[in-house]
Amino acid sequence: MANNQTKNPHVGHRQRMRERVQKQGLESLQPHEILEFLLYPFIPMKDTNAVAHELLDKVGGNLDKVFEASPALLKSVKNMTQNAVLFLTSIPSLSRIYELNKLGDKPMLDTITHTKEYFQKLFFHQDREKMYLAIVNAKGKLVDISEIGTSFSQECTLNVKEFVQKTASNGANNIFIAHNHPSGDAKPSRADYDFTRWLVSLCEIMGLKLVDHLIITDNDYYSFSEQGDLAQYKNVYSDYIKFATAMDRFRM
């Protein structure tokens, strides 16, 4: 008796994909296959290959754009689950945490290369403008790191009260300030220069050493120290006090 049943070519597909990844790694997969594989635990009993193709089509074909897409856009794809959306949108943060942990709890910020590397990992795929205060010891070892302000419309805003509390409570002498430009352009704005000049004076008043102010992007950076700006702004406040009248000093 002839067997008229046609064998389903998709039977065992997920297991074959898992074996392929185990033997050859994710690098052996095409972008849609990587997505298909990642979605297996979150979309059971559905064709994740079709989901992966539609996700990539929605964002123009780039895998990284899928991870950076809004939850609403991801959820609009047929068969996407809430758990799958949460997982995919968590990948950039997970990558950032992974890279920072590789540097250890208290990395050395003793050279511009080490400092740039640390802050680029800290700001990796941050789509909002943020500002961080890093306190280091005399050898350049990180003592404390905290979000201390924002940078909106090319204008830096420092939370002065929190800045004073953080530096005082940690017995700080040496500090870094870093903020990001999500646009990808590390070039300082006029406001960035003005802010840095003011920041140097603030640190002089408090007896702190501003080691550097950095502007960070994913692929570039600007160091105010490296470019000589900090040296140019040094003693601005002390020179003012030296020549200011008593009334002017009181107003300060």
Confidence band for 1, pLDDT divided at 50, 70 and 90:
very low
Q: What are phi and psi of 226, to 5 degrees?
A: -60, -35
Say whether pLDDT at 3 is over 70. Answer: no
The model's confidence at residue 234, banded by pLDDT at 50, 70 and 90, is: confident
Decide if pLDDT at 240 tops 70: no
107 CB-near residues (< 8 Å, 6+ apart): 114, 118, 141, 142
pLDDT-based confidence at residue 238 (cuts at 50, 70, 90): low
Q: Please give the Cα distance from 5 to 38 (Å, whole number).
A: 32
The pTM is what? 0.81
1 contact partners, CB below 8 Å, separation of at least 6: none
Model confidence over 53-102: pLDDT tens digits? 999 999 999 999 999 999 999 999 999 999 999 999 999 999 999 999 99
Question: C-alpha distances in angstroms, 209 versus 4, 52, 197?
Answer: 82, 51, 13
Averaged confidence pLDDT in the chain: 89
Yes or no: say if 220 and 184 are a contact pair by the CB < 8 Å rule.
yes
The domain covering 103-251 belongs, at the CATH homologous superfamily level, to Cytidine Deaminase, domain 2 (3.40.140.10)
Per-residue pLDDT, 128: 86
Q: Which residue in 168, 207, 215, 212 sits closest to 189, CA to CA?
A: 215
Q: Whole-angstrom Cα distance, residue 240 to residue 95?
A: 46
Select from 30, 48, 91 the least CA-distant residue to 66: 91
Q: Which residue has the tokens 């003592």?
A: 143
Which tens digit of pLDDT belongs to each residue from 154-205?
Answer: 567 888 999 999 999 988 899 999 999 998 999 999 989 999 999 998 999 8
Extract the tokens encoding 50. 């079709």
Q: What is the DSSP letter of 124?
A: T
- Termini Cα distance of the chain: 101
Q: Locate the DSSP E strands across 137-184.
A: 142-152, 155-158, 174-180
DSSP 171: T
Q: Where in the chain is the domain with CATH 3.40.140.10?
A: 103-251
